[in-house]
């Protein structure tokens, strides 16, 4: 049977036949394509046309690499959503927030060789680049030092700086994490990539010393590569700025222009509420359907997130996380990734997040087709379990 070029799950003369058995559900990456239909509906208000002569210079007219008007829009959006305090804070841009992870680690590390290298830590399950980047750059002023729990009662040695990555909501399990380490020599980098009403209730504006956000998980434009950091301390801001200046001389002007157009549209459509309503509705629907299916299973479970009051929607709302953090409950299923793969479900193994391989992350933020295929496979797997009993 001919397989459709566009999607191996469909075949037949007009790609209208669902090839259930040969099709593999791809739930691997965190590509936020679920927002594509929203932008199709708002194609005109979000379109950009850049003339050949426009913004050719390295710099903006004020001599900086940062668009002042984009920065203002970002502050306005945070105030509107109520998810972060930006008044009196510095903002810098990076090529995706992934670049700002290391910029922040650099800026919070000691900048004298007389101090020992900072210990960089994160709490499993955590987003792998915290470790992989820190190890890859192999710097003299910081080292990756494993799981945060190893250092919980052990930070009083004043000579060493600790840099704790805190992801809230967490990738992969959606929890609103808080820093575990405390003390005068402890610094935290709060990664708030998913702290938008799409994926979580917003209990209060975040107000930490170093906070990272990204357009990838806000508008879904992961390919534009724009992240930003909101920073309290001027010296930390200067060191992060230097990192960006030295490495890339600022984020591309086209990216900043596109982001401005997108944020403008976000703030205008439906009095700045439409994208959040769409995103929450989509993610909530996916979560409810997945949860209902998995609730029939004894072999697989998924993380529990309690309903919570959201200051943006002004009501208690149910969970709508970006990822399902699935656990294979049977002791013998210690390679949960392979268990799901055998059922044609491709996820990301727990060990990628420095967690147990009884866990697998399934992405829920891809296209509707990807989600429907995933749910179909899971439904089949759970039904087989029932039949076997």
Give the footprint of ligand PMP on this chain (CB under 6 A): 30, 96-98, 127, 167, 171, 191, 193, 214, 216, 222, 227
Q: Which is nearer to ligand PMP, 161 or 216 (by Cβ)?
A: 216
Shortest distance in whole angstroms from residue 7 CB to ligand PMP: 23
Give 2's DSSP letter.
P
Pick from 188, 193, 195: nearest CA to 216: 193
Strand blocks (E) in 34-181: 90-94, 118-122, 142-147, 162-167
Q: Which is nearer to ligand PMP, 147 or 333 (by Cβ)?
A: 147
Q: Which is nearer to ligand PMP, 9 or 244 (by Cβ)?
A: 244
**Nearest residue to ligand PMP, scored by beta-carbon proximity:** 96
Region of residue 60 (phi > 0: left; psi between -120 and 50: alpha; otherwise: beta) = beta
Shortest distance in whole angstroms from residue 279 CB to ligand PMP: 16
d(CA 298, CA 181): 36
d(CA 144, CA 133): 9
Q: Which is nearer to ligand PMP, 227 or 319 (by Cβ)?
A: 227
Q: How many C-beta atoms lie closer than 10 Å to residue 29's C-beta?
A: 14
Shortest distance in whole angstroms from residue 159 CB to ligand PMP: 30
The token duo for 42 is: 């708002």
Q: Which is nearer to ligand PMP, 130 or 337 (by Cβ)?
A: 130
Please, are residues 263 and 73 in contact by the beta-carbon 8 Å criterion? yes
Q: Which is nearer to ligand PMP, 160 or 224 (by Cβ)?
A: 224
CA dihedral 39, 44, 45, 48 (to 10 degrees): 90
Shortest distance in whole angstroms from residue 169 CB to ligand PMP: 9
Q: Which is nearer to ligand PMP, 99 or 161 (by Cβ)?
A: 99
Shortest distance in whole angstroms from residue 219 CB to ligand PMP: 11
Count Cα neighbours of 68 within 13 Å in the Cβ-side half-sphere: 6
Strand blocks (E) in 85-226: 90-94, 118-122, 142-147, 162-167, 186-191, 210-214
Shortest distance in whole angstroms from residue 118 CB to ligand PMP: 20
Could you give the maximum distance between any two Cα atoms of the chain, in Å?
Answer: 70
Shortest distance in whole angstroms from residue 158 CB to ligand PMP: 30
d(CA 328, CA 314): 36
Shortest distance in whole angstroms from residue 352 CB to ligand PMP: 12
Shortest distance in whole angstroms from residue 126 CB to ligand PMP: 8
Q: Which is nearer to ligand PMP, 97 or 160 (by Cβ)?
A: 97
DSSP3 helix / strand / coil % (the chain, rounded to 5): 35, 20, 45
Q: How many C-beta atoms lie closer than 10 Å to residue 340's C-beta?
A: 24
Q: Which is nearer to ligand PMP, 155 or 170 (by Cβ)?
A: 170
């Amino acid at each position: 049977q001919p397989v459709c070029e566009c999607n191996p799950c469909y075949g037949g003369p007009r790609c209208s036949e669902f090839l259930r058995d040969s099709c593999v559900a791809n739930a691997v990456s965190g590509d936020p394509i679920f927002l594509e239909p929203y932008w199709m509906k708002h194609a005109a208000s979000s379109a950009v046309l850049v003339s050949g002569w426009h913004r050719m210079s390295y710099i903006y007219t004020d001599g900086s690499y940062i668009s002042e008007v984009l920065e203002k829009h970002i502050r306005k959006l945070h105030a509107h959503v109520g998810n972060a305090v930006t008044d009196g804070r510095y903002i810098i841009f990076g090529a995706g927030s992934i670049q700002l992870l290391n910029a922040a680690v650099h800026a919070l590390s000691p900048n004298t060789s007389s101090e020992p290298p900072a210990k960089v830590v994160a709490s499993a399950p955590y987003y792998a680049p915290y470790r992989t980047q820190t190890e890859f750059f192999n710097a003299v002023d910081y080292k990756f030092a494993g799981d945060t729990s190893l250092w919980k009662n052990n930070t009083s040695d004043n000579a060493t700086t600790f840099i704790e990555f805190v992801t809230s909501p967490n990738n992969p399990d959606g929890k609103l994490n808080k820093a575990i380490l405390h003390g005068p020599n402890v610094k935290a980098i709060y990664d708030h990539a998913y702290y938008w009403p799409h994926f979580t209730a917003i209990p209060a504006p975040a107000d930490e010393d170093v906070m990272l956000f990204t357009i990838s998980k806000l508008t879904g434009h992961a390919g534009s590569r724009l992240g930003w950091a909101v920073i309290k301390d001027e010296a930390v801001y200067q060191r992060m700025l230097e990192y960006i200046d030295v490495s890339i001389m600022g984020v591309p002007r086209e990216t900043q222009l596109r982001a401005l157009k997108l944020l403008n549209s976000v703030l205008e459509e439906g009095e700045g509420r439409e994208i959040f309503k769409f995103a929450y509705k989509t993610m909530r629907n996916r979560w409810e359907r997945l949860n209902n299916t998995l609730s029939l299973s004894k072999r697989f479970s998924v993380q529990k997130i309690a309903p919570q009051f959201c200051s943006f929607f002004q009501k208690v709302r149910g969970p709508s996380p970006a990822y399902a953090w699935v656990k294979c409950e049977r002791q013998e299923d210690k390679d949960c990734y392979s268990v799901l793969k055998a059922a044609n479900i491709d996820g990301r193994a727990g060990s990628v997040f420095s967690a147990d391989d009884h866990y697998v992350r399934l992405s829920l933020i891809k296209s509707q087709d990807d989600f429907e295929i995933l749910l179909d496979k899971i439904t089949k797997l759970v039904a087989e379990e029932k039949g076997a009993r």
